[in-house]
Amino acid sequence: DGGITQSPKYLFRKEGQNVTLSCEQNLNHDAMYWYRQDPGQGLRLIYYSQIVNDFQKGDIAEGYSVSREKKESFPLTVTSAQKNPTAFYLCASSSPGDRGGDGYTFGSGTRLTVV
Amino acid sequence: QKEVEQNSGPLSVPEGAIASLNCTYSDRGSQSFFWYRQYSGKSPELIMSIYSNGDKEDGRFTAQLNKASQYVSLLIRDSQPSDSATYLCAPLGYGNKLVFGAGTILRVKS
């Protein structure tokens, strides 16, 4: 079955440490996105990529980095520059098409906690 | 003004009633609109999309769109306790990106 796989499900980061969150999709979608969700709040866009080897900053890119070397993969690195990284991270993909296609498909998320 | 406004709730309805969830948006250029359901601790899942003014029905769900008023709503008929979740409204904005509202918490009481 096609879908998006995020790993790990839970991740603990020490102060000053970089960590990388994995996102892989087999839906043949061109576009991929990373969102952050804090308790009781909506989704905020971190980075997005509409084609391989290209990506753009979203609304809250500071302290994060991404790469898009393969169509299937869009890993997110949370760097030590991100001062408050504890949150629920969601990866999504889409095949925009006409009128936005079928919207976004989301992975199951990674819950990151600073210890 | 936020790009997408939703009443945060919680909206409480008794089992079997109609739940009405509302959303307003600021981008007049938005042409496509999506409703997502998110259970606590889980990722959002798509439940409805609507592109044209009027109503679109899918089972117990009806999406309503009024582009002139920049208003989109979701009705859930015969609400069930399993419908208790946060509902996210998401218009398609510039660059084919969805813009998410903060969501409305729905609680269906049995």
CB contact under 8 A, B97 and A90: no
Task: Give the model's pLDDT for residue A6.
Answer: 98
B39-50 pLDDT, tens digit per residue, is 999 999 999 999
Task: Give the model's pLDDT for residue A108.
Answer: 97
Supply φ then ψ for residue A19, to 5 degrees. -135, 150
A52-101 pLDDT, tens digit per residue, is 999 999 999 999 999 999 999 999 999 999 989 999 999 999 987 666 66
Task: Give the model's pLDDT for residue A100.
Answer: 64
CB contact under 8 A, A103 and B45: no
Contact residues on chain A for B97, CB-CB shorter than 8 A: 33, 45, 48
Tell me if chain B has a CB within 8 Å of the CB of A67: no
Which band of pLDDT confidence, cut at 50, 70 and 90, is reported for residue A18?
very high
CB contact under 8 A, B97 and A102: no
| Percent of chain A residues past pLDDT 70, beyond the cut | 94
Tell me the pLDDT of chain A averaged across its residues: 92
**B87, B45 contact by CB (below 8 A):** no
pLDDT at residue B35 tops 90: yes
CB contact under 8 A, A33 and B97: yes
Tell me if chain B has a CB within 8 Å of the CB of A30: no
C-alpha–C-alpha distance, residues A110 and A79, integer Å: 16
Q: B109 vs chain A: nearest CA distance in angstroms?
A: 21
B8-22 pLDDT, tens digit per residue, is 899 999 999 999 999
Most A CBs within 10 Å: which of B97, B100, B104, B105, as the mutation test of the A interface?
B97
> Per residue in B56-78, is it b (16+ CB within 10 Å) or e — as a string?
eeeeebbbbbeeeebebbbbbee
| Percent of chain B residues past pLDDT 90, beyond the cut | 90
Task: Give the model's pLDDT for residue B87.
Answer: 98
Contact residues on chain B for A110, CB-CB shorter than 8 A: none
Residue B26 DSSP class: S
Which band of pLDDT confidence, cut at 50, 70 and 90, is reported for residue A2?
confident
